[in-house]
Structure 1
Amino acid sequence: MKFHPFIFIIIILFSGCKSSKEPVTSSIQFIPKKKLTSKELETWYQKDYVTDSILGISLNKWYALNKKKPNQEVIVAVIDTQLDINHEDLKGQFWTNQKEITNNNIDDDNNGYVDDIHGWNFTSNKKEDYVAWGNFESVRFIRQWDSEFKGKTEDQIKSEDLANYKEYQRALKVNEKENIYYNRWFSSLNHSVEIFPLVKDTLKHFFPKEDYTYKQLDSLYKIHKLNDKTYRQRRESDDRDLGALIFYMMINIQDKESTLEALKNSQAELDSIVNRNLNKNFNDRKLIGDNPNVLEKGYGNGNISISKKGFKNLQGHGTKVVGIIGANRKNNIGIKGFSDNIKIMPLNISYSGDENDKDIAMAIYYAVDNGAKVINMSFGKEFSVHQQWVSDAFKYAEKHNVLLVHASGNEKSDNDKTPYYPSDNNYDGTPEICNNFINVGSISKRLDNTFVSAFSNYGKQNVDLFAPGEEIYTTTKNNTYGTDSGTSLAAPMVSGTAALIWTYYPKLSAIEVKQIIMDSGTAYNLEVIVPGTKEKKIPFSELSKSGKVLNVYNAMQLAEKFSKKKK
């Protein structure tokens, strides 16, 4: 579909969560801004499509028009990596366990966790050493079932084990593909580190000050090709040919690895992927010292922001997610979260590798038992070794009226066809596990066929709605700010909205809040490119269950109407 100078937005407003009446619809002519100022780029996702001509979630519009005061504080548990608890824009925004006395090494509130002042770190030990690298879940799945399934064909498997056998076979294929990919990349990096000094010395002949740019190297490369008649034959047989060395540095500049230090850092990362993430013999629970096959309280420690020499800093991802939800709105620095009446409960389970199902389940139980109303889960994986543990935790959250919000994933795949965990879906045709789970995809600020982020997962049944997740400016580790993209940044927008609703309308149930958020979204009537394809286009409404994008203003309006009906 060709992009026209204006597009019609269909806005659908419901009078309640469930109604037998037809929805009221209206069409608005909308001309999006083509160029945003630097400030608008930082705050675009909070803007309004009509008021500001920017495809945001209308958070600013709601604040501009709202005259009421919130009724209560709401706790949002963020299950993620460690975070920068001392960030200037996050000070005072964290939940505090008032029943626990700081650093007395006693479980004062008898909740099973010692000195859990602001949350809990499930991936560390009592000495505050923490897991930096863990297995991919495909590796764990293979290790779990190797003794039973290795070398067997399907006709040798009992019917009750068939589902696990098929997952085992899928895990083997994924693991083989990842091993080939990462080992080739690792080998290439090893060669790059080896040859880098020669490249630098060679280029000094042309650029004595070593001040070359990609464009300058590209010109030199083309001249070399033009002047060297035997270039192709020598290029294929000798990777130390001048053209090859020039091209090598061009690639390094493009990949932001133009120094030996940068290359060695990448080499170390790949070494850990190959020898830890993908290594079936690597025990990623040894440092923690727990039994990974038993659900239990108390392992780990209460420091959710460890900075330790010799350990990889893991505070980046969690700091980004937390900032979107809970950054201070009144300090006039950095960014603005959804409400200062939202308090963040950090629960650390993530590192470089896939999250362990035990940690996911125990973090959910902790969040529910300690008063969280919303649980944000901006992580995911292709396999689940102990899915039942997580499913039971989901049901526990539902029973206690807690909303679960999950990022749909960045694999540009269909969640209806390809499993992505944790999920409220068993992927076996059975009904959904629970009704308090929202799965969120990512959209951009572009109102054209690239509206849906190219990396985002989607699914008419297993993705509920979309929210901004591309070029999002937020808090980052080491007391800084930055821009990033991913469904990990779309999910906290929904979590923040749910928490905001509850600060005003505390009597609503989790299922009602979910339905309000889905029903009140904005429906954009346009065709979009399906992520993972080059040209396939379908209506945006077909990529999620609601067919809509999060809209805070509409959600708050609908929550007010529904809350009045409950009185």
Structure 2
Amino acid sequence: MQKYSMEEILKYLSKIMAAAIVTSQISAATIAIIDSGTDMQHDVIAPKAWINQLEIPGNQRDEDRNGYQDDVYGWNFAESNNQVIDYKYLGTLNDDMVKFFELQEKSMRGTITPEELDWMRSIIKNEDFIKRMTVYGNFMHGTHVAGISATKSDDAKILAVKLIPTEVKLPGQEIASLNQDKGIIDFLVKRAIDALAKAQTGTFNEIAYYVSDHGAKVANGSFGTGFPQAKMIVETVMKTVSKKEPNPETVEHYAKYFVNALVDNSQSMLKAAPNTLFVFAAGNDGLNNDEYPTSPTNIQGDNELSVAATIDYSSLAPFSNYGEKMVDVAAPGVGILSSAPGNKYIKVSGTSQAAPYVAGVAGKILDINPSLKPVDVKKIIMETVDTKSFLAGKVKTGGVVNSERAQRAAILSLDISLSKAIASAKEDVADMEVEVREKSRRAPIYIKGSVLPLPSNFVLK
């Protein structure tokens, strides 16, 4: 009789348990929230939290032998531990910030008063307020995003993946002491930029393998490095090294090259998780991603979607990035009420809020028909949109995601071909109602900088 070691027996039992868990949860789509941290104890998220049943919480061991010790709710890739949120920031939210978020929405809906507008313009110039807002924005961001996806998909399981540190140092804070170091000068050389992009790719690919291994059918990515951020990074480094004002054309050239390098190198994450649909936020810089690239949302593939933000179903949000070639669809992203750490709720605006709306719809589609592949889910979402004239030339589909129509197509796809299901769903489900604008409202007002850029994982070291 052949004898087995205890380690071999444990490995065998782990495989059996894993298979049982996958089988029992086959009807529930797992949505990975790749973000800045998620409060898995929040009342909205806790009932839908993905839990690694193979791990014994708090024993500092790696029972499932995947290399991530005690990854009960997911993993913190920013600090290499299992703490998917840092609760020490719970007291960061104050009354001014709550008021700011409220007025942020009112300004874009045209209901803000002149006095409120003056207050916003004044406080946005306050460096201490912006610093506090940035820290809280990162702390709250992942929880807010997770809540949106969770409420759009009844049976979804939320897997937390922390990529963005809560406090990110601004470019230049760590390079000032390096003076004329040749390594920093080489940063401006394309080969060095390529190396930097490849280093980021390693993290992205590790995350992609992680969410794939845990069976995530959908992954939301409301983060990114846009052209303005890339430009700031390049410009800051050049100023610090050369001690003089850099040529604007050179800065723009390197910024575009930098972001394109990030996009090109990040393309491999789609292959690392071929059974996962990645949903990316288009960006909050109000730019055309076809001309001014943003990473990773400019990645192109059968298992990715890029999402712009709208004001309900009536107009493109003024802060939203767009692109007829690079952005696929649009979804509501202004004044979105969702969860915040500590069992709070807050309204926030951004493409960060539009993307998880679509990720939640994708999860719902998979709840209905788990046999659909990422390319099928993408096809349903893109081909069931409400076509809008204000999105013509702005996104590939020229439309806003229609959740009800997409779900109808998923139901029909259980019995008929996908193409027929989509065609029938278009006939069965009407466009979503557009709110009639009150004559008393002013035109939407957007204060530049009132919507923060996407949180970026890029930290200059």
TM norm structure 2: 0.60
Q: Which residue of 2 aligns with 1:481?
A: 345
Q: Which residue of 2 aligns with 1:541?
A: 392
Work out whether residues 508 and 563 of structure 1, in 8 Å CA contact, stay in contact via their aligned partners in 2.
no
CA distance in structure 2 between the aligned counterparts of 1:269 and 1:404, rounded to whole angstroms: 30
CA distance in structure 2 between the aligned counterparts of 1:128 and 1:85, rounded to whole angstroms: 10
Do residues 453 (structure 1) and 327 (structure 2) align?
A: no
AA in 1 matched with 2:307: V
Work out whether residues 154 and 364 of structure 2, in 8 Å CA contact, stay in contact via their aligned partners in 1.
no
AA in 2 matched with 1:462: M
Tell me how far 1:396 sits from its aligned partner.
2.0
Do residues 325 (structure 1) and 149 (structure 2) align?
A: yes
Work out whether residues 443 and 470 of structure 1, in 8 Å CA contact, stay in contact via their aligned partners in 2.
yes
Q: Which residue of 1 aligns with 2:311?
A: 444
Q: Which residue of 1 aligns with 2:409?
A: 558
Q: Which residue of 2 aligns with 1:194?
A: none
Residues 212-236 of structure 1: per-residue CA shift (max 9 Å, x gap):
xx96xx9xxxxxxxxxxxxxxxxxx
Aligned counterpart for 1:99 among listed residues 54, 57, 63: 54
AA in 2 matched with 1:490: A
Tell me how far 1:255 sits from its aligned partner.
3.1
CA distance in structure 1 between the aligned counterparts of 2:330 and 2:321, rounded to whole angstroms: 10
Pick closer, same or farther for the CA change 1:556–1:109 going to 2, 3 Å.
same
CA distance in structure 2 between the aligned counterparts of 1:483 and 1:117, rounded to whole angstroms: 29
Q: Which moved more, 1:378-387 or 1:314-323?
A: 378-387
Q: Secondary structure at the match of 2:415?
A: helix
CA distance in structure 2 between the aligned counterparts of 1:129 and 1:90, rounded to whole angstroms: 13
Tell me how far 1:559 sits from its aligned partner.
2.0
Tell me how far 1:435 sits from its aligned partner.
1.2
Determine which structure has greater relative contact order: mean sequence separation of CA pairs < 8 Å that are 6+ residues apart, divided by chain length: 1
Work out whether residues 30 and 50 of structure 2, in 8 Å CA contact, stay in contact via their aligned partners in 1.
yes
Do residues 513 (structure 1) and 389 (structure 2) align?
A: no
Tell me how far 1:93 sits from its aligned partner.
1.4
Q: Which has the larger radius of gyration?
A: 1
CA distance in structure 2 between the aligned counterparts of 1:470 and 1:345, rounded to whole angstroms: 25
AA in 1 matched with 2:398: G
Q: Secondary structure at the match of 1:406?
A: strand
Aligned counterpart for 2:302 among listed residues 419, 435, 457: 435
Tell me how far 1:561 sits from its aligned partner.
2.7
Q: Which residue of 1 aligns with 2:156?
A: 342
Pick closer, same or farther for the CA change 1:414–1:129 going to 2, 3 Å.
closer
Work out whether residues 106 and 114 of structure 1, in 8 Å CA contact, stay in contact via their aligned partners in 2.
yes
Work out whether residues 74 and 503 of structure 1, in 8 Å CA contact, stay in contact via their aligned partners in 2.
yes
Work out whether residues 38 and 85 of structure 2, in 8 Å CA contact, stay in contact via their aligned partners in 1.
no
Q: Which residue of 1 aligns with 2:286?
A: 412
Alignment of 1:142-181 (within 5 A): none
Work out whether residues 277 and 304 of structure 2, in 8 Å CA contact, stay in contact via their aligned partners in 1.
yes
Residues 121-147 of structure 1: per-residue CA shift (max 9 Å, x gap):
011255969999xxxxxxxxxxxxxxx
CA distance in structure 2 between the aligned counterparts of 1:391 and 1:92, rounded to whole angstroms: 33
Tell me how far 1:268 sits from its aligned partner.
5.7
Q: Which residue of 2 aligns with 1:151?
A: none
Structure 1 runs of 4+ with >4 Å offset: 125-132, 250-254, 267-270, 311-314, 352-357, 383-389
Do residues 391 (structure 1) and 267 (structure 2) align?
A: yes
Pick closer, same or farther for the CA change 1:120–1:547 going to 2, 3 Å.
same
Tell me how far 1:475 sits from its aligned partner.
1.0
Tell me how far 1:88 sits from its aligned partner.
2.2
Q: Which residue of 1 aligns with 2:188?
A: none
Pick closer, same or farther for the CA change 1:457–1:268 going to 2, 3 Å.
closer
Work out whether residues 74 and 373 of structure 1, in 8 Å CA contact, stay in contact via their aligned partners in 2.
yes
CA distance in structure 2 between the aligned counterparts of 1:563 and 1:253, rounded to whole angstroms: 51
Q: Which residue of 1 aligns with 2:212?
A: 368
CA distance in structure 2 between the aligned counterparts of 1:325 and 1:129, rounded to whole angstroms: 17
AA in 1 matched with 2:311: S
Pick closer, same or farther for the CA change 1:359–1:396 going to 2, 3 Å.
closer
Work out whether residues 124 and 131 of structure 1, in 8 Å CA contact, stay in contact via their aligned partners in 2.
no
Pick closer, same or farther for the CA change 1:129–1:543 going to 2, 3 Å.
closer
Residues 465-504 of structure 1: per-residue CA shift (max 9 Å, x gap):
1000011111112221111100000001111111111111
Work out whether residues 124 and 130 of structure 1, in 8 Å CA contact, stay in contact via their aligned partners in 2.
no
Q: Which residue of 2 aligns with 1:55?
A: none
Aligned counterpart for 1:114 among listed residues 62, 69, 79: 69
AA in 1 matched with 2:222: S
Alignment of 1:148-297 (within 5 A): 254-256=121-123, 265-266=128-129
Residues 301-335 of structure 1: per-residue CA shift (max 9 Å, x gap):
xxxxxxxxxx9794300111011111xxxxxxxxx
Work out whether residues 262 and 295 of structure 2, in 8 Å CA contact, stay in contact via their aligned partners in 1.
no
CA distance in structure 1 between the aligned counterparts of 2:334 and 2:399, rounded to whole angstroms: 17
Tell me how far 1:338 sits from its aligned partner.
1.9
Tell me how far 1:562 sits from its aligned partner.
2.9
Residues 42-62 of structure 1: per-residue CA shift (max 9 Å, x gap):
xxxxxxxxxxxxxxxxxxxxx
AA in 2 matched with 1:522: D
CA distance in structure 1 between the aligned counterparts of 2:375 and 2:328, rounded to whole angstroms: 13
AA in 1 matched with 2:139: Q
AA in 1 matched with 2:142: G
Going by fraction, where is helix more abundant, 1 or 2?
A: 2
Pick closer, same or farther for the CA change 1:350–1:96 going to 2, 3 Å.
same
Work out whether residues 280 and 355 of structure 2, in 8 Å CA contact, stay in contact via their aligned partners in 1.
yes
Identity %: 31
Tell me how far 1:419 sits from its aligned partner.
1.1
CA distance in structure 2 between the aligned counterparts of 1:388 and 1:553, rounded to whole angstroms: 35
Tell me how far 1:361 sits from its aligned partner.
2.6
Pick closer, same or farther for the CA change 1:359–1:470 going to 2, 3 Å.
same
Tell me how far 1:508 sits from its aligned partner.
1.1
Q: Secondary structure at the match of 1:375?
A: strand
Count of aligned positions: 307
Aligned counterpart for 2:35 among listed residues 80, 83, 87: 80
Pick closer, same or farther for the CA change 1:435–1:410 going to 2, 3 Å.
same
CA distance in structure 2 between the aligned counterparts of 1:523 and 1:471, rounded to whole angstroms: 22
AA in 2 matched with 1:367: V
CA distance in structure 2 between the aligned counterparts of 1:494 and 1:78, rounded to whole angstroms: 13
CA distance in structure 2 between the aligned counterparts of 1:128 and 1:546, rounded to whole angstroms: 39
Q: Which residue of 1 aligns with 2:277?
A: 403
Pick closer, same or farther for the CA change 1:415–1:561 going to 2, 3 Å.
same
Work out whether residues 404 and 438 of structure 1, in 8 Å CA contact, stay in contact via their aligned partners in 2.
yes
Work out whether residues 76 and 82 of structure 2, in 8 Å CA contact, stay in contact via their aligned partners in 1.
no
Q: Secondary structure at the match of 1:498?
A: helix
Pick closer, same or farther for the CA change 1:421–1:94 going to 2, 3 Å.
same
CA distance in structure 2 between the aligned counterparts of 1:128 and 1:514, rounded to whole angstroms: 32
CA distance in structure 2 between the aligned counterparts of 1:565 and 1:508, rounded to whole angstroms: 13
Work out whether residues 28 and 157 of structure 2, in 8 Å CA contact, stay in contact via their aligned partners in 1.
yes
